[in-house]
Amino acid sequence: MPANLTPDYLQAEAKFRAAVTREEKIEALEDMLRVLPRHKGTDKIHADLRARLSKLRREPRSAAAKGFSHRIPREGAGQVALAGCPNAGKSSLVAALTHAMPEVAPYPLTTREATPGMMPFEDIGIQLVDLPPLCQEHVEPWVYDLVRAADLVWLVATIEEALEGVDVAVPLLASKAIELHPAGLDAAPRPGCITKPALLVVTGMDRPSAERDLAALRELLDQPWPIVPVSVVSRVGCSELARQTFTALRIMRIYTKEPGKEPDRTRPFTLSRGSTVGDLARTIHNDIAAKLRFARVWGRSGFAGQVVGEAHVLVEGDVVEIHT
Ligand SMILES: Nc1nc2c(ncn2[C@@H]2O[C@H](COP(=O)(O)OP(=O)(O)OP(=O)(O)O)[C@@H](O)[C@H]2O)c(=O)[nH]1
Ligand SMILES: [Mg+2]
Protein backbone atom coordinates (compact mmCIF):
# COMPACT_ATOMS: atom_id res chain seq x y z
CA MET A 1 0.00 0.00 0.00
CA PRO A 2 2.24 2.83 -1.21
CA ALA A 3 -0.10 5.61 -0.10
CA ASN A 4 -0.86 4.05 3.31
CA LEU A 5 -4.50 3.46 2.47
CA THR A 6 -6.62 2.77 5.52
CA PRO A 7 -8.97 -0.20 6.07
CA ASP A 8 -11.90 2.26 5.75
CA TYR A 9 -10.69 3.25 2.32
CA LEU A 10 -10.18 -0.34 1.20
CA GLN A 11 -13.69 -1.15 2.37
CA ALA A 12 -15.12 1.77 0.39
CA GLU A 13 -13.15 0.59 -2.64
CA ALA A 14 -14.64 -2.89 -2.26
CA LYS A 15 -18.08 -1.30 -2.13
CA PHE A 16 -17.30 0.50 -5.37
CA ARG A 17 -16.26 -2.72 -7.08
CA ALA A 18 -19.51 -4.35 -5.97
CA ALA A 19 -21.65 -1.38 -7.08
CA VAL A 20 -23.96 -1.99 -10.03
CA THR A 21 -26.02 1.15 -10.59
CA ARG A 22 -24.68 4.62 -11.29
CA GLU A 23 -26.07 5.80 -7.94
CA GLU A 24 -24.33 3.03 -6.01
CA LYS A 25 -21.06 3.78 -7.77
CA ILE A 26 -21.39 7.49 -7.00
CA GLU A 27 -22.09 6.73 -3.36
CA ALA A 28 -19.09 4.42 -3.12
CA LEU A 29 -16.79 6.93 -4.83
CA GLU A 30 -17.96 9.64 -2.45
CA ASP A 31 -17.17 7.29 0.44
CA MET A 32 -13.70 6.65 -0.96
CA LEU A 33 -13.07 10.40 -1.26
CA ARG A 34 -14.29 10.97 2.24
CA VAL A 35 -12.07 8.39 3.89
CA LEU A 36 -9.01 8.83 1.68
CA PRO A 37 -6.11 10.02 3.85
CA ARG A 38 -4.97 13.41 2.52
CA HIS A 39 -1.24 13.84 2.00
CA LYS A 40 1.12 14.25 -0.92
CA GLY A 41 1.15 10.51 -1.59
CA THR A 42 -2.62 10.44 -2.21
CA ASP A 43 -2.95 13.52 -4.45
CA LYS A 44 -3.05 11.44 -7.61
CA ILE A 45 -5.64 9.03 -6.20
CA HIS A 46 -7.72 11.99 -5.06
CA ALA A 47 -7.64 13.58 -8.52
CA ASP A 48 -8.48 10.26 -10.14
CA LEU A 49 -11.47 9.69 -7.83
CA ARG A 50 -12.80 13.19 -8.47
CA ALA A 51 -12.52 12.69 -12.23
CA ARG A 52 -14.37 9.36 -12.06
CA LEU A 53 -17.02 10.91 -9.87
CA SER A 54 -17.67 13.87 -12.13
CA LYS A 55 -17.82 11.58 -15.19
CA LEU A 56 -20.41 9.39 -13.47
CA ARG A 57 -22.43 12.40 -12.39
CA ARG A 58 -22.69 13.55 -15.99
CA GLU A 59 -24.20 10.21 -17.01
CA PRO A 60 -27.99 9.87 -17.06
CA ARG A 61 -29.59 8.55 -13.88
CA SER A 62 -30.27 4.85 -13.80
CA ALA A 63 -33.91 3.81 -14.17
CA ALA A 64 -34.29 2.76 -10.55
CA ALA A 65 -33.31 6.19 -9.30
CA LYS A 66 -35.72 8.07 -11.54
CA GLY A 67 -38.86 9.27 -9.87
CA PHE A 68 -37.21 9.42 -6.47
CA SER A 69 -38.19 12.71 -4.94
CA HIS A 70 -36.14 14.76 -2.51
CA ARG A 71 -39.04 17.07 -1.82
CA ILE A 72 -39.57 17.74 1.88
CA PRO A 73 -43.22 18.38 2.76
CA ARG A 74 -43.51 21.65 4.61
CA GLU A 75 -44.40 21.38 8.29
CA GLY A 76 -44.62 23.91 11.09
CA ALA A 77 -44.59 27.68 10.84
CA GLY A 78 -41.98 27.92 8.08
CA GLN A 79 -39.30 25.98 6.23
CA VAL A 80 -35.63 26.91 6.44
CA ALA A 81 -33.03 25.46 4.05
CA LEU A 82 -29.47 25.18 5.37
CA ALA A 83 -27.07 26.10 2.60
CA GLY A 84 -23.31 26.30 2.81
CA CYS A 85 -19.94 24.83 2.04
CA PRO A 86 -18.77 21.40 3.23
CA ASN A 87 -18.01 21.22 6.96
CA ALA A 88 -19.75 24.54 7.66
CA GLY A 89 -21.72 22.98 10.53
CA LYS A 90 -25.14 22.57 8.87
CA SER A 91 -25.83 19.06 10.13
CA SER A 92 -24.50 19.98 13.58
CA LEU A 93 -27.08 22.77 13.79
CA VAL A 94 -29.95 20.48 12.78
CA ALA A 95 -28.74 17.87 15.27
CA ALA A 96 -28.43 20.46 18.06
CA LEU A 97 -31.68 22.34 17.48
CA THR A 98 -34.09 19.55 16.52
CA HIS A 99 -34.74 15.90 17.34
CA ALA A 100 -33.41 14.84 13.92
CA MET A 101 -30.12 13.00 13.82
CA PRO A 102 -28.24 13.84 10.62
CA GLU A 103 -24.69 12.51 10.44
CA VAL A 104 -22.06 14.95 11.69
CA ALA A 105 -18.40 14.40 10.94
CA PRO A 106 -15.11 16.31 10.94
CA TYR A 107 -14.55 15.61 7.23
CA PRO A 108 -16.32 17.38 4.34
CA LEU A 109 -19.16 16.01 2.16
CA THR A 110 -20.73 14.04 4.98
CA THR A 111 -24.32 14.83 4.13
CA ARG A 112 -25.82 13.30 1.02
CA GLU A 113 -29.52 13.43 1.79
CA ALA A 114 -31.92 16.11 2.99
CA THR A 115 -32.93 15.72 6.63
CA PRO A 116 -35.80 17.75 8.08
CA GLY A 117 -36.19 18.52 11.77
CA MET A 118 -38.46 20.75 13.83
CA MET A 119 -36.81 23.56 15.78
CA PRO A 120 -38.97 24.76 18.66
CA PHE A 121 -39.42 28.49 19.10
CA GLU A 122 -41.56 29.32 22.13
CA ASP A 123 -44.98 27.83 21.25
CA ILE A 124 -44.36 27.02 17.57
CA GLY A 125 -42.09 24.81 15.49
CA ILE A 126 -39.95 25.92 12.55
CA GLN A 127 -38.80 23.28 10.09
CA LEU A 128 -35.07 23.09 9.35
CA VAL A 129 -33.85 21.15 6.32
CA ASP A 130 -30.26 19.91 6.45
CA LEU A 131 -28.79 19.69 2.94
CA PRO A 132 -25.69 18.37 1.23
CA PRO A 133 -23.07 21.07 0.76
CA LEU A 134 -22.65 23.65 -1.96
CA CYS A 135 -19.19 23.48 -3.47
CA GLN A 136 -17.59 24.53 -6.72
CA GLU A 137 -16.80 20.96 -7.74
CA HIS A 138 -20.28 19.59 -7.41
CA VAL A 139 -23.73 20.27 -5.99
CA GLU A 140 -26.50 17.69 -5.97
CA PRO A 141 -28.92 19.28 -8.46
CA TRP A 142 -31.96 18.73 -6.24
CA VAL A 143 -30.36 20.81 -3.49
CA TYR A 144 -31.26 23.90 -5.52
CA ASP A 145 -34.87 22.75 -5.73
CA LEU A 146 -35.09 22.44 -1.96
CA VAL A 147 -33.55 25.88 -1.43
CA ARG A 148 -36.04 27.27 -3.95
CA ALA A 149 -38.93 25.67 -2.04
CA ALA A 150 -37.90 27.04 1.37
CA ASP A 151 -39.19 30.22 3.00
CA LEU A 152 -35.81 31.26 4.35
CA VAL A 153 -32.18 30.27 3.87
CA TRP A 154 -29.58 29.92 6.57
CA LEU A 155 -26.31 30.61 4.87
CA VAL A 156 -24.11 28.54 7.17
CA ALA A 157 -20.35 29.14 7.41
CA THR A 158 -17.62 28.60 9.99
CA ILE A 159 -16.25 31.72 11.61
CA GLU A 160 -12.81 31.01 10.14
CA GLU A 161 -14.09 30.71 6.58
CA ALA A 162 -17.24 32.78 6.61
CA LEU A 163 -16.21 35.16 3.82
CA GLU A 164 -15.14 32.34 1.54
CA GLY A 165 -18.33 30.46 2.40
CA VAL A 166 -20.50 33.39 1.37
CA ASP A 167 -18.41 33.98 -1.75
CA VAL A 168 -18.92 30.38 -2.87
CA ALA A 169 -22.52 29.75 -1.85
CA VAL A 170 -24.17 32.98 -2.98
CA PRO A 171 -22.90 32.85 -6.61
CA LEU A 172 -23.64 29.12 -6.87
CA LEU A 173 -27.26 29.75 -5.91
CA ALA A 174 -27.40 32.80 -8.19
CA SER A 175 -26.18 30.62 -11.08
CA LYS A 176 -29.42 28.66 -10.64
CA ALA A 177 -31.57 31.81 -10.52
CA ILE A 178 -31.84 31.84 -6.71
CA GLU A 179 -30.87 35.25 -5.37
CA LEU A 180 -30.33 35.52 -1.65
CA HIS A 181 -31.00 38.83 -0.02
CA PRO A 182 -30.36 39.93 3.55
CA ALA A 183 -33.43 38.97 5.62
CA GLY A 184 -35.26 42.04 6.85
CA LEU A 185 -34.39 44.11 3.80
CA ASP A 186 -36.58 44.32 0.75
CA ALA A 187 -35.39 42.43 -2.28
CA ALA A 188 -35.01 43.82 -5.77
CA PRO A 189 -35.44 40.68 -7.83
CA ARG A 190 -33.77 40.28 -11.22
CA PRO A 191 -36.18 39.16 -13.92
CA GLY A 192 -36.38 35.38 -14.04
CA CYS A 193 -34.86 34.95 -10.58
CA ILE A 194 -36.46 33.93 -7.34
CA THR A 195 -35.29 35.79 -4.25
CA LYS A 196 -34.95 34.24 -0.83
CA PRO A 197 -34.27 36.02 2.43
CA ALA A 198 -31.16 34.73 4.19
CA LEU A 199 -29.49 34.89 7.57
CA LEU A 200 -25.75 34.37 7.77
CA VAL A 201 -25.30 31.76 10.50
CA VAL A 202 -21.70 31.73 11.64
CA THR A 203 -20.68 28.57 13.51
CA GLY A 204 -17.76 27.74 15.78
CA MET A 205 -18.07 30.72 18.13
CA ASP A 206 -16.57 28.58 20.91
CA ARG A 207 -13.21 28.67 19.13
CA PRO A 208 -10.48 30.88 20.68
CA SER A 209 -10.17 33.66 18.08
CA ALA A 210 -13.85 33.67 17.15
CA GLU A 211 -14.75 37.12 18.52
CA ARG A 212 -11.86 38.77 16.69
CA ASP A 213 -12.73 36.95 13.47
CA LEU A 214 -16.35 38.03 13.84
CA ALA A 215 -15.37 41.70 14.13
CA ALA A 216 -13.24 41.33 10.99
CA LEU A 217 -16.08 39.60 9.18
CA ARG A 218 -18.48 42.45 9.92
CA GLU A 219 -15.98 44.85 8.33
CA LEU A 220 -15.34 42.78 5.26
CA LEU A 221 -18.76 41.62 4.13
CA ASP A 222 -19.89 43.48 1.05
CA GLN A 223 -23.60 42.92 1.73
CA PRO A 224 -25.40 43.69 5.01
CA TRP A 225 -26.11 40.04 5.84
CA PRO A 226 -27.76 39.72 9.23
CA ILE A 227 -25.12 37.71 11.09
CA VAL A 228 -26.13 35.25 13.80
CA PRO A 229 -23.01 33.91 15.56
CA VAL A 230 -23.54 30.52 17.19
CA SER A 231 -21.78 27.52 18.66
CA VAL A 232 -23.31 24.09 18.90
CA VAL A 233 -20.65 23.27 21.50
CA SER A 234 -21.39 26.07 24.00
CA ARG A 235 -24.88 26.66 22.53
CA VAL A 236 -24.18 30.39 22.53
CA GLY A 237 -26.48 32.16 20.08
CA CYS A 238 -28.87 29.23 19.60
CA SER A 239 -31.95 30.87 21.12
CA GLU A 240 -31.15 34.15 19.35
CA LEU A 241 -30.95 32.15 16.11
CA ALA A 242 -34.46 30.78 16.66
CA ARG A 243 -35.77 34.28 17.44
CA GLN A 244 -34.15 35.87 14.40
CA THR A 245 -35.44 33.04 12.24
CA PHE A 246 -38.97 33.69 13.46
CA THR A 247 -38.58 37.41 12.65
CA ALA A 248 -37.02 36.72 9.26
CA LEU A 249 -39.91 34.45 8.29
CA ARG A 250 -42.20 37.50 8.60
CA ILE A 251 -44.87 35.51 10.34
CA MET A 252 -47.06 36.25 13.31
CA ARG A 253 -48.89 34.12 15.85
CA ILE A 254 -52.61 34.54 16.28
CA TYR A 255 -54.51 32.81 19.08
CA THR A 256 -58.18 32.00 18.75
CA LYS A 257 -60.88 31.82 21.39
CA GLU A 258 -64.48 30.79 21.60
CA PRO A 259 -67.05 33.18 23.08
CA GLY A 260 -67.06 33.01 26.87
CA LYS A 261 -63.93 30.85 27.00
CA GLU A 262 -60.24 31.48 27.56
CA PRO A 263 -58.07 31.74 24.43
CA ASP A 264 -56.30 28.60 23.24
CA ARG A 265 -52.73 29.54 24.11
CA THR A 266 -51.30 26.17 23.18
CA ARG A 267 -51.59 26.18 19.40
CA PRO A 268 -51.39 29.54 17.65
CA PHE A 269 -52.13 29.92 13.98
CA THR A 270 -49.18 31.29 12.08
CA LEU A 271 -49.94 33.76 9.30
CA SER A 272 -47.80 36.07 7.20
CA ARG A 273 -47.44 39.48 8.72
CA GLY A 274 -50.08 41.86 7.43
CA SER A 275 -52.76 39.14 7.29
CA THR A 276 -56.35 40.06 8.09
CA VAL A 277 -59.22 38.54 10.04
CA GLY A 278 -60.48 37.18 6.68
CA ASP A 279 -57.11 35.46 6.06
CA LEU A 280 -57.29 33.89 9.53
CA ALA A 281 -60.82 32.62 8.86
CA ARG A 282 -59.69 31.07 5.55
CA THR A 283 -56.74 29.42 7.31
CA ILE A 284 -59.08 27.86 9.86
CA HIS A 285 -61.65 26.66 7.32
CA ASN A 286 -63.21 27.93 4.09
CA ASP A 287 -66.70 27.43 5.57
CA ILE A 288 -65.83 29.70 8.49
CA ALA A 289 -64.51 32.31 6.07
CA ALA A 290 -67.74 32.13 4.06
CA LYS A 291 -69.93 32.54 7.13
CA LEU A 292 -67.81 35.17 8.92
CA ARG A 293 -69.95 38.05 10.22
CA PHE A 294 -67.47 39.82 12.49
CA ALA A 295 -64.67 39.12 14.94
CA ARG A 296 -63.63 40.41 18.32
CA VAL A 297 -59.95 41.18 18.86
CA TRP A 298 -57.79 41.41 21.96
CA GLY A 299 -54.16 42.45 21.62
CA ARG A 300 -52.13 45.14 19.99
CA SER A 301 -54.32 45.50 16.89
CA GLY A 302 -57.51 46.29 18.79
CA PHE A 303 -58.74 47.25 22.26
CA ALA A 304 -60.16 44.50 24.45
CA GLY A 305 -62.86 42.71 22.55
CA GLN A 306 -63.14 45.33 19.80
CA VAL A 307 -65.54 44.30 17.04
CA VAL A 308 -63.80 44.20 13.66
CA GLY A 309 -64.56 43.07 10.10
CA GLU A 310 -62.73 40.70 7.81
CA ALA A 311 -60.41 43.44 6.46
CA HIS A 312 -59.00 44.17 9.93
CA VAL A 313 -55.21 43.71 9.91
CA LEU A 314 -53.94 41.53 12.76
CA VAL A 315 -50.61 41.74 14.55
CA GLU A 316 -48.37 39.26 16.36
CA GLY A 317 -49.95 37.87 19.53
CA ASP A 318 -53.53 38.98 18.84
CA VAL A 319 -56.39 36.90 20.23
CA VAL A 320 -59.36 36.58 17.87
CA GLU A 321 -62.90 35.37 18.47
CA ILE A 322 -64.67 34.64 15.20
CA HIS A 323 -68.43 35.06 14.93
CA THR A 324 -70.30 33.34 12.11
N1 LIG B 1 -16.06 23.69 17.81
C2 LIG B 1 -17.13 23.61 17.02
N3 LIG B 1 -17.21 22.65 16.08
C4 LIG B 1 -18.32 22.60 15.30
C5 LIG B 1 -19.38 23.53 15.44
N6 LIG B 1 -20.32 23.21 14.53
C7 LIG B 1 -19.87 22.15 13.84
N8 LIG B 1 -18.65 21.77 14.31
C9 LIG B 1 -17.82 20.65 13.83
O10 LIG B 1 -17.57 20.86 12.45
C11 LIG B 1 -17.50 19.62 11.76
C12 LIG B 1 -18.43 19.63 10.57
O13 LIG B 1 -19.77 19.70 11.03
P14 LIG B 1 -21.00 19.20 10.14
O15 LIG B 1 -22.22 19.60 10.90
O16 LIG B 1 -20.87 17.77 9.75
O17 LIG B 1 -20.83 20.13 8.85
P18 LIG B 1 -21.74 20.12 7.52
O19 LIG B 1 -21.87 21.55 7.09
O20 LIG B 1 -23.00 19.39 7.76
O21 LIG B 1 -20.80 19.34 6.50
P22 LIG B 1 -21.24 18.61 5.13
O23 LIG B 1 -22.32 17.62 5.44
O24 LIG B 1 -20.01 18.01 4.64
O25 LIG B 1 -21.72 19.70 4.22
C26 LIG B 1 -17.86 18.55 12.79
O27 LIG B 1 -16.65 18.00 13.26
C28 LIG B 1 -18.55 19.32 13.90
O29 LIG B 1 -18.42 18.70 15.15
C30 LIG B 1 -19.27 24.54 16.46
O31 LIG B 1 -20.14 25.39 16.68
N32 LIG B 1 -18.12 24.52 17.22
MG1 LIG C 1 -23.77 17.80 6.81
Q: CA-to-CA distance for 107 and 91, rounded, in angstroms?
A: 12
Q: What is the pLDDT of residue 276?
A: 96
Angle between the N-to-C axes of helices 22-35 and 43-58, in degrees from 0 to 180, rounded to the nearest 10? 160
Q: CA-to-CA distance for 81 and 311, rounded, in angstroms?
A: 33
Q: What is the pLDDT of residue 210?
A: 97
**Closest residue CA from atom 4 of ligand 1:** 204
Tens of pLDDT, residue by residue over 120-160, are 999 999 999 999 999 999 999 999 999 999 999 999 999 99
- What's the 90 CA to ligand 2 centre distance in angstroms? 5
Q: CA-to-CA distance for 253 and 268, rounded, in angstroms?
A: 6
> In ligand 1, which atom is closest to the CA atom of 108?
24
> In ligand 1, which atom is closest to the CA atom of 156?
19
**When comparing pLDDT for 146 and 38, which is higher?**
146
Say if CB 104 and CB 94 are below 8 A apart: no
Q: Residue 251 forms beta bridges with which residues?
A: 272
Q: Tell me what the pLDDT averaged over the chain comes to.
A: 91
**Whether the CB of 127 sits within 6 Å of ligand 1:** no
Among 12-21, 89-98, 258-267, 308-317, name the one with the lowest average pLDDT: 12-21
**Closest residue CA from atom 7 of ligand 1:** 89
What is the share, in percent, of the chain residues with pLDDT greater than 90? 70
Q: CA-to-CA distance for 273 and 253, rounded, in angstroms?
A: 9
Q: What is the pLDDT of residue 1?
A: 44
Terminal Cα distance for the chain, rounded: 79
Number of the ligand closest to the Cα of 93: 1
Q: Please give the model's pTM, rounded to 2 decimal places.
A: 0.79
Q: CA-to-CA distance for 271 and 291, rounded, in angstroms?
A: 20
Q: CA-to-CA distance for 91 and 141, rounded, in angstroms?
A: 19
**Whether the CB of 232 sits within 6 Å of ligand 1:** yes
Q: What is the pLDDT of residue 288?
A: 87
Ranges 47-56, 106-115, 167-176, most confident: 167-176
Q: What is the pLDDT of residue 193?
A: 87
**When comparing pLDDT for 301 and 30, which is higher?**
30
Among 5-9, 120-124, 125-129, 313-317, name the one with the lowest average pLDDT: 5-9
Say if CB 298 and CB 283 are below 8 A apart: no
Q: CA-to-CA distance for 62 and 55, rounded, in angstroms?
A: 14
- Confidence grade of residue 3 (pLDDT, cut at 50, 70, 90): low
Angle between the N-to-C axes of helices 22-35 and 7-18, in degrees from 0 to 180, rounded to the nearest 10? 170
pLDDT at 66 over 70: no
Q: What is the pLDDT of residue 239?
A: 97
With the most atoms of ligand 1 within 8 angstroms of its CB, the residue from 104, 134, 138 to mutate is 104
For residue 14, give every residue at least 6 positions away whose Cβ sits within 8 Å of its Cβ, in sequence order, or none. none
Q: Residue 118 forms beta bridges with which residues?
A: 127
Say if CB 316 and CB 253 are below 8 A apart: yes
**Whether the CB of 92 sits within 6 Å of ligand 1:** yes
Q: What is the pLDDT of residue 304?
A: 87
As a whole number, mean pLDDT of residues 251-277 equals: 93
Q: What are φ and ψ of residue 83, in 5° steps?
A: -115, 140
Say if CB 145 and CB 131 are below 8 A apart: no
- Confidence grade of residue 264 (pLDDT, cut at 50, 70, 90): confident
pLDDT at 67 over 80: no
* Ion ligand 2 residues within 5 Å by Cβ: 90-91, 110-111
pLDDT at 76 over 60: yes
**Whether the CB of 111 sits within 6 Å of ligand 1:** yes
Q: What is the pLDDT of residue 13?
A: 86
Angle between the N-to-C axes of helices 90-97 and 238-248, in degrees from 0 to 180, rounded to the nearest 10? 100
**Whether the CB of 133 sits within 6 Å of ligand 1:** yes
194-203 and 227-229 beta bridge pairing: parallel
- What's the 50 CA to ligand 2 centre distance in angstroms? 19
Q: What is the pLDDT of residue 2?
A: 54
As a whole number, mean pLDDT of residues 248-253 equals: 96
pLDDT at 34 over 70: yes
- What's the 106 CA to ligand 1 centre distance in angstroms? 6
